[in-house]
């Protein structure tokens, strides 16, 4: 039996992705981040770079 695939659109890249592609975030109503793991990684990297260069 096919598993129900829950997806949502990433607020950053606007791509419809399965919830597995989003990190858990218990502060969000659906328990998942609003942006996907790939975008989150980018945000984290930029944040790190900014901290490093300041």
Residue ranges with strand state E in the chain: 7-9, 16-18
Between 10 and 32, CB nearer to Zn ion: 10
Task: Give the count of residues interacting with Zn ion (CB under 5 A).
Answer: 5
Cα(53)–Cα(22) distance, integer angstroms: 28
36 touches Zn ion by CB under 5 A: yes
- Report the candidate in 25, 33, 28, 31 with the shortest Cα–Cα distance to residue 9: 33
21 touches Zn ion by CB under 5 A: no
Pick from 6, 9, 13, 41 the residue near Zn ion by CB under 5 A: 13
Binding site for Zn ion (CB under 5 A): 10, 12-13, 36, 39
């Amino acid at each position: 039996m096919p598993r129900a695939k829950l997806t949502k659109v990433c607020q950053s890249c606007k791509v419809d992705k399965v919830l597995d592609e989003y990190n858990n975030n218990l502060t969000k109503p659906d328990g998942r981040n609003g942006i996907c793991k790939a975008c989150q990684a980018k945000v984290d990297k930029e944040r790190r770079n900014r901290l490093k260069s300041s």
